[in-house]
Amino acid sequence: MQAVAPGRVLLDRYRLDSVLGRGVMGHVWRGVDLRLGRPVAVKTIAAGLLAGRGGVDGRSDLYAVGCLLHHMLSGAPPSPPTSRPGWSPAT
């Protein structure tokens, strides 16, 4: 596996420029779609997770997307605010 570094082109299309953020799952990169000439964000997954190491369940991203979609479509969070200590709705 090649190292993920600035300047690397993935799938002959997406050039990685700089890291926007990092977390348990991997990194989010600022990049460019070379076919469309547009800025993009590209998420790379940590190699240890792809190899089955790391103790992180890959389904967490799917859950997060589900929560966002629920909120976007229904206008309400997926669970009442009182079920999440310290959470308050944006006003």
- The pLDDT score that the predictor gives to residue 63 is 75
13: pLDDT confidence band, cut at 50, 70 and 90? very high
- The pLDDT score that the predictor gives to residue 40 is 92
Q: In what order do the strands lie in the sheet with 26-33?
A: 9-10, 14-22, 26-33, 38-45
Tens of pLDDT along 31-82?
999 999 999 999 888 777 666 655 556 677 777 777 778 877 888 777 765 5
pTM, whole model, 2 decimals?
A: 0.55
Output phi, psi for 82, to 5 deg.
Answer: -70, -15
- The pLDDT score that the predictor gives to residue 53 is 59
